Amino acid sequence: MSNSSGIERDSFSGRFAVVAAVAGSAIGLGNIWRFPYLTGENGGGAFLLVYLFFVVFVGIPVMTSEFVIGRATQRNPYGAFKKLAPGKPWYLIGIMGVAAAFMILAFYTVVAGWTLEYFYQSVAGNLSGKNDAELTQMFDGFVKNPFRPMLWFLVFMGLTAMINFSGVKNGIEKYTKILMPLLLILLIILCIRSVTLKGAAAGLTFLFRPDLSKINPQVILTALGQSFFSLSIGMGTLITYGSYIKKDENLASSASLVVASDTLIAVIAGIAIFPAVFALGGSAASGPGLVFIILPSVFQNMPLGIFFATLFFILLALAALTSTISVLEVIVAFMAEELNMARRKATIIATVSVSALGIITALSYGPLAGLKLAGKNVFELLEYLTSNIMLPLGGLFIVLFIGWFLNPELTKNELTNDGKFKGRFLPLFRFLVRYIAPVAIAAVFLYGLGIIKL
């Protein structure tokens, strides 16, 4: 039995706190590491265009739906579906979410560890005086190392667990309110440097002039997956966060604001990176190493470069930390509320088990590079399965649940705060969750996985 009913739940204090906490979850490596590398591999502007389509027509409806489910029930995802649909299998979405959280943490925290390595290398002075080939070599050498990626992964996992453990999350939020705007300023400085490099225009063309012939099933599926990943949707993170949102907040406008900021940061990261790629002679299709190779190059080309590089990598690590906290929270809230476990015990068990998988993932470009399934190593497999399959599948069921199963009155009450707002957007929202979003996701699945051919 769920024990959550009698528990006094935390809640975010006010408008800015909601948007800040959800944006803290959404903005992270997904925007600054993953968006640029996928854009680089999937045709630039064409990818951006498809991505923007999904963000607006699928991302906003799914995020709003998660908020509705979370705030209406005041539960973790599993408990929320049990409460809204007793005796029906919808709670399986919650279970899949916990599994996805587990898998995402195992590779996301590895990349977060890479940012710590680069912070360290920057302080140690090793990022200066290197050309593109040397920086590429440095990245490859690092991820192939049998020890360092694992060490940094464990450090980062420990940090995440500590914060979840001690309940100082609110303290963290206080700092991130100052530090994240600082990261944004730093990104803008990087953009200015990048677009003023000689030969930068080709990078802007690459990012903003879509070559529609580059669009294919794989590009579309990747863009859909990235929109889910970047917005932290499809696995119940935002159901959990929604359960902490106060009754007088406007859910739909909070969701739109978060989606807009998240997307803006991704595009800014793109503007910081692609002009430099073309100006400094790198390759847009460098894969997961892209930002770690290109940005040090850019820093070398600006005054106080080492200082900026150091600041950048530590802020990026912090942005990642506010995301890993939110993913771990999904697992911990589930174990605490549904398995009746003490929060601290749940945190320890979750951390130890994620670490076991994470260590394997951390070594998957090095000693375990031979461990492959369908041509993908463990890291790539976790990334593909979660982002391209599990999150969109979760999102599909979430919109189907809101659009076709749940009593529309309940959704209406949540979205208008029991009639306090007019909710003129309600018919549009309903249309999106009933038809546009589910059809879009289902079509991308069938098409992207090669089940249908157009």
When the beta carbons of 182 and 215 are compared against ligand TRP, the nearer one is 182
Name every residue whose Cβ is closer than 8 Å to that of residue 36 and which is 6 or more positions away in sequence. 269, 270, 273, 274, 290, 291
Name every residue whose Cβ is closer than 8 Å to that of residue 356 and which is 6 or more positions away in sequence. none
Candidates 230, 160, 155, 183; CA nearest to 387 is 230
CB 202 within 8 A of CB 273: no
Tell me the HSE value of 160 on the side-chain side, using a 13 A CA sphere: 36
In the bound complex, what is the minimum distance in angstroms from residue 238's beta carbon to ligand TRP? 8
Instruction: Give the distance between the most distant pair of CA atoms in the chain.
Output: 64
Q: How many CB atoms lie within 10 A of CB 368?
A: 17
When the beta carbons of 229 and 429 are compared against ligand TRP, the nearer one is 229
When the beta carbons of 378 and 391 are compared against ligand TRP, the nearer one is 391
Residue nearest to ligand TRP (CB): 30
**Per-residue exposure over 145-173, b if at least 16 CB sit within 10 Å of its own CB, e if not:** beebbbebbbbbbebbbebbbeeebeebb
**Which residue in 180, 235, 336, 402 binds ligand TRP (CB under 6 A)?**
235
The structure tokens 């005041």 sit at 74
Contact status: 230 vs ligand TRP (CB under 6 A): yes
Name every residue whose Cβ is closer than 8 Å to that of residue 400 and which is 6 or more positions away in sequence. 438
**Per-residue exposure over 217-256, b if at least 16 CB sit within 10 Å of its own CB, e if not:** bebbbbbbbbbbbbbbbbbbbbbbbbbbbeeebbbbebbb
Q: Which stretch binds ligand TRP (CB under 6 A): 124-132, 157-165, 166-174, 322-330?
A: 322-330
Contact status: 310 vs ligand TRP (CB under 6 A): no
In the bound complex, what is the minimum distance in angstroms from residue 261's beta carbon to ligand TRP? 12
Scanning residues 137 to 156, which ones bind ligand TRP (CB under 6 A)? none
**Which residue in 104, 143, 197, 220 binds ligand TRP (CB under 6 A)?**
104
When the beta carbons of 270 and 305 are compared against ligand TRP, the nearer one is 270
**Which residue in 19, 24, 25, 437 binds ligand TRP (CB under 6 A)?**
25
In the bound complex, what is the minimum distance in angstroms from residue 229's beta carbon to ligand TRP? 5
* # binding residues, ligand TRP (CB under 6 A): 16
**Which residue in 21, 29, 267, 290 binds ligand TRP (CB under 6 A)?**
29
Contact status: 227 vs ligand TRP (CB under 6 A): no
When the beta carbons of 65 and 297 are compared against ligand TRP, the nearer one is 65
Torsion sign over Cα 192, 196, 201, 203: negative
* Local structure of residue 214 (DSSP, 8 states): G
- 3-state secondary structure at position 242: helix
When the beta carbons of 60 and 279 are compared against ligand TRP, the nearer one is 60
Cα separation, 40 vs 376, whole angstroms: 19
Contact status: 323 vs ligand TRP (CB under 6 A): yes
**Which residue in 65, 237, 250, 377 binds ligand TRP (CB under 6 A)?**
237
**Which residue in 122, 240, 326, 355 binds ligand TRP (CB under 6 A)?**
326
Name every residue whose Cβ is closer than 8 Å to that of residue 241 and which is 6 or more positions away in sequence. 21, 22, 25, 67, 70, 326
When the beta carbons of 98 and 135 are compared against ligand TRP, the nearer one is 98
When the beta carbons of 27 and 280 are compared against ligand TRP, the nearer one is 27
Q: Which stretch binds ligand TRP (CB under 6 A): 21-29, 67-75, 251-259, 417-425?
A: 21-29
Q: Which residues bind ligand TRP (CB under 6 A)?
A: 25-26, 28-31, 104, 229-230, 232, 235, 237, 323, 326-327, 391
